[in-house]
Chains A and B, each alone.
Chain A
């Protein structure tokens, strides 16, 4: 009885702020303006313009996720070897920027990368040719990696810290050298952290429109931007919802793939 009362507010929350909006998205996505059922909104993803935005989003977020992983793993390893005190201080330094507003951080990059921005200013002062930095895919990837890297570092650092030193000693004892310890022990044992890191980077990267708005300009449209524009400028909620559904399906597929790899990874990865 008391449990029911306690869970009441959460159930209300879930219904009001998760289920109803989701149902509305599904409803709008599968109907046209007059309210009749249609698949046109969903299928519009196959239009060249939308498909291009979707593939670009998938591509850029994939590259960003991989870059985050490549940067985060060695960092997490270093932090682990530093031991508790020093390691957690560096982690703290690392997540410090996260205390600043996400928009501000991205705007700062805009200021740095702009045509007449800080970097080009320095290049001019050094009599070097100016670079076209802003409004490129590279700028978007940079923004994604910069903003989402901590979400990759933290879960990996957490799983690595949980690995008992004796387990590593045991592997050494049984004849494994450092490389073998890395690939047969540390890496497989940190897969849960890697998976949650990938999820926490890939999903927001795939759906972002702020980073691409600020660093990609109007030239580069990600699927997030397309959806945003349908809701705001285009006022076509049906189309926006339809594309959101498609995006959700893509995220579900990616998650399923990762989860499958995780299962495989447990024990038989090597």
Chain B
């Protein structure tokens, strides 16, 4: 393992005076599947373009395999990109599209031919050699864009929302295809998406970004179960974020009710934010609950029911459950200690505003 394959050091980038990336640090290990996740405009594409060499940072360095490549043009970098909107060459056939990079590198004809065949098989489009770009569906064009990139055997593949334009079913199919491809090829993926489910499904490391900052970086489980701040908790899946007071270690007070939790070290009588996932709330009989409330909303969602339970203090708890409680019924709220996630309050009002706005 040892040193990272790609290392972004103190990257700062602004466009027309607006800061887009602010002192960004990111390390990517060889063979990792890293996903940059964040709301639209948070700087994901910009980060990717800096790695690809299409944008140069105002400050900071891009290190690739131990070498500073900050000022190396894109055509000299050992990585390839799958662009947000495919960017295929319309004036070329499919095989010419795939062959483009290899022809530039003056590879022998026979080698190129083999590679085209291999790449088309890899993306399940055998026999598409002589088709035109415009005759392909969106999903097929997407796969050609991937094939065009991987025939060059890059050490890193950058993918910018490659599935963004596809419908749900196709997107899920392609997610599996991509994971399969990655395992077959054994190359490093840096993947951009604003779809949190996609990020959770595919990656081994998720980098949650907002407004040019990295909010949290970790494994999908880590990000989902232990969000470090309200922004991450809110962005990754649905959640209830409520103010609480840490009474002591392993005991938190929410709306004057005391919940047992597993978090320690926050201090005594310290205000905190508490995250509870909607699926982690058990609705029980009123006398058995730590808090009681009234069901104020009920929607059938297929796999589960989505309910809103309003507690006397006015907070609306989002609850997912396979049990149905009709609107108007009084219920008790119970949460298992390990399903309660405690976060420090944001240091300043500003930071909080940043987190909640998006």
Q: A188-B91, A267-B91 are in contact. Are A176 and B85 (CB under 8 A)?
A: no
Chain A residue, CB-CB nearest to B100: A174
Q: Is the CB–CB distance between A174 and B101 below 8 Å?
A: yes
Q: In whole angstroms, how far apart are the Cα atoms of A185 and B92 in the complex?
A: 9
**Contacts A171-B100, A189-B90: A177 and B81 contacting too (C-beta < 8 A)?**
no
Chain A contact residue count (CB 8 A cutoff): 21
Interface centre among B54, B100, B152 (most CB of A within 10 A): B100
CB pair B104–A176 under 8 Å, yes or no, is yes
Contact A170 B81 (CB under 8 A): yes
Select A174's contact among B90, B93, B104, beta carbons within 8 Å.
B104
Query: Given A172-B74, A172-B75, A177-B75, are A166 and B96 neighbors across the interface (CB < 8 Å)?
Result: no
B80 & A173 in contact (Cβ 8 Å cutoff): yes
Q: In whole angstroms, how far apart are the Cα atoms of A216 and B200 in the complex?
A: 76
A172 with B54, Cβ < 8 A, contacts A167-B87, A185-B89 known: yes
State the majority secondary structure of interface residues on A. helix
Closest to B98 in A: A174
Interface pair A174/B148, CB less than 8 Å apart:
yes
B73 within 8 A of partner (CB): yes
Contacts of A269 in B (CB 8 A): 91
Quick check: B74 and A173 within 8 Å, CB to CB?
yes
| Residues of B close to A191: CB separation below 8 A | 91
* Residues in chain B near residue A170, CB distance under 8 A: 81, 83, 87-89, 148
B53: chain A residues at CB < 8 Å are 172
Chain B, 61-97, contact with A by CB distance < 8 Å: what is the 0/1 string? Answer: 0000000000001110000110111011111110010
Closest CB in chain B relative to A190 CB, distance in Å:
10
Contact with B along A158-191 (1 / 0, CB 8 A): 0000001011011111111100100011001101
- Please state if A176 and B75 are interface contacts (CB–CB under 8 Å): yes
Contact of B75 among A173, A185, A267 (CB under 8 A): A173
CB of A266 within 8 Å of the partner chain: yes
Q: How far is the CA of A189 from the CA of B133 in the complex (A)?
A: 13
Q: Mark A243-270, 1 if CB is under 8 A from B, else 0.
A: 0000000000000000000000011010
Chain B residues with Cβ under 8 A from A266's Cβ?
A: 91
Cβ–Cβ contact B75 & A166, under 8 A: no
CA distance A164 to B148 in the complex (A): 17
Q: Please tell me if B169 contacts chain A, counting CB pairs below 8 Å.
A: no
Measured CB to CB, the nearest residue on chain A to B81 is A173
CB distance from B253 to the nearest CB of A (A): 53
Check B104 against A169 for contact (C-beta < 8 Å). no
Chain A nearest Cβ from B217, distance in angstroms = 26
Give bound CA distance, A166 to B73, whole Å: 15
**Contacts A173-B81, A180-B104 given; does A166 touch B87 at CB 8 Å:** yes
**Alpha-carbon separation in the docked complex, A191 to B74 (Å):** 26
Which residues of chain A come closer than 8 Å to B84, judged between CB atoms? 166
Q: Which residues of B contact A171 (CB under 8 A)?
A: 89, 100
Interface pairs A-B: 9 shortest CB-CB? A174-B101, A166-B87, A170-B87, A175-B104, A172-B74, A188-B91, A166-B83, A173-B81, A175-B75
Q: Can you report 13 A-B residue pairs in the complex whose CB atoms are below 8 A from each other? A: A170-B81, A170-B87, A170-B88, A170-B89, A172-B53, A172-B54, A173-B80, A174-B104, A176-B100, A176-B104, A177-B73, A177-B75, A184-B100
Other A-B pairs, 19, CB within 8 Å; known A166-B87, A171-B100, A185-B89 = A164-B87, A167-B87, A167-B89, A167-B90, A170-B81, A170-B83, A170-B87, A171-B89, A172-B53, A172-B74, A173-B80, A173-B81, A175-B101, A175-B152, A176-B75, A177-B73, A184-B100, A188-B91, A191-B91
- Which residues in A have some Cβ–Cβ distance to B below 8 Å? 164, 166-167, 169-177, 180, 184-185, 188-189, 191, 266-267, 269
